[in-house]
Structure 1
Amino acid sequence: MTLKLASKTLALTIGFSVLAFTATTASAQWQWMDKDGRKVFSDRSPPAEIHEKDILKRPAGATRAAAAAAAAALSADAVTAAKPSSAASSPASKASAPKLSGKDPELEAKKKKADEEEAAKKKIEEDKVAKTKADNCERAKTGLATLQSGVRMSSVNAGGEREIFDDAKRASETKRAQEVIDSNCK
């Protein structure tokens, strides 16, 4: 009975060891930084335009040339195995092959949404600036009309004292109001 239990335990231990070894070898990963500075993880070697200095991690004992040769051999085997007979190579079989556009529709939708949100924010900001300019324009027109009416006006100086506008002060305030009107009332 103990011999039977020991043999089952040994079989399970060997099975788990093989499974663990297989799992670690199957998880060979490449890691590199792409042209945009993002980390990329893959089970295939990076493209040729990625510099060696940008490769952060590679599978044990793997080189880029060996990985590229293995990938080429695998793709060549897949192509020869997948080639249909000459009778089956009709336009219908070529049309049924999936067409890869190289564009991710989900990514395109996200980009479009981000662009729309940015345009909406820009529009809100432009509307806010236009409203501020319209308010400034109305205030300047009102102030200019008051200055030109000849009504006696005064202001409070830095010392807290009230000063009555003389002709020079009235002329400078009229000029300033006209400049505000020129810049904001378009």
Structure 2
Amino acid sequence: MKPTRLTLLALTLTLAAGLGHAQAIWKWKDKDGRIQISDRAPPNDVPARDILSQPAGTSSKAAAAAPAPVADATKAAPAAPAASGVDSALEKKRKQDAADKASQLAAAQAADKARVAAAKAENCSRARGHMAALESGQRMSRMNANGEREFLDDQARAAESARTRQMMDSNCQ
């Protein structure tokens, strides 16, 4: 079968598209003498003489370290490091983050305490209602393990009253 012009054109375009991706490869020697290959520019500490190959149309120093314009650098420059070597703006941000985390932790603890207090108040209310029903003398029943209703006799009523008093002691303070 003879290749047609359209097939040859498609093959040529496919190969050309693949070559476009291969052009953005950097190759340089690092400080230990090893050859490094990457699609990114080498670090700033690599001298221009150690850059073995680079993408077409880029200069080795301009691509390796693309400095911002001087006017923009003075506007966006952070505060100078303090004499101790710590950046004051960074230290201020760290302190602010720590304060934010502490306040979030305190808020979470307060919410937990409020939730526990609300649960205790609900349990106290239920225990008081149950104790009032036990002390009223009316006939009471409960379901046993088989799902059958059984009525409380005097001994079971006394045990239930003792258990309810313990619940009231722990929840009603």
Superposition TM-score, scaled by structure 1 size: 0.47
Q: Which of 79, 95, 107 is the matching residue for 2:94?
A: 107
Q: Which of 32, 46, 59 is the matching residue for 1:24?
A: 46
Distance change in 2, residues 1:127/1:21 (3 Å) = closer
Instruction: Please identify which structure carries the higher helix content.
Output: 1
| Corresponding residue for residue 144 of structure 1 | 131
Partner Cα distance (1:125, 1:21) in 2:
50
| Corresponding residue for residue 141 of structure 2 | 154
Q: CA deviation at 1:167?
A: 0.5
Structure 1 unaligned blocks of 5 or more: 1-16, 27-97
Percent of aligned positions that are identical: 37
Distance change in 2, residues 1:23/1:165 (3 Å) = same
Partner Cα distance (1:110, 1:21) in 2:
31
Partner Cα distance (2:82, 2:166) in 1:
63
- Measured on the aligned residues, the alpha-carbon RMSD in Å equals 2.6
Deviating 4+ runs (over 4 angstroms): 98-103
For 1:153, the aligned partner's letter is M
Aligned length: 97
Partner Cα distance (1:144, 1:119) in 2:
37
Structure 2 unaligned blocks of 5 or more: 1-27, 29-41, 49-80
Q: Which of 131, 135, 152 is the matching residue for 2:118?
A: 131
Do residues 117 (structure 1) and 104 (structure 2) align? yes
Partner-residue secondary structure (3-state), 2:106: helix
| Corresponding residue for residue 167 of structure 1 | 154
Partner-residue secondary structure (3-state), 1:109: helix
Q: CA deviation at 1:23?
A: 3.6
Partner Cα distance (1:137, 1:160) in 2:
27
Per-residue deviation, residues 64-84 of structure 1 (Å, max 9, x unmatched): xxxxxxxxxxxxxxxxxxxxx
For 1:173, the aligned partner's letter is E
Partner Cα distance (1:21, 1:161) in 2:
80
Partner Cα distance (2:152, 2:123) in 1:
22
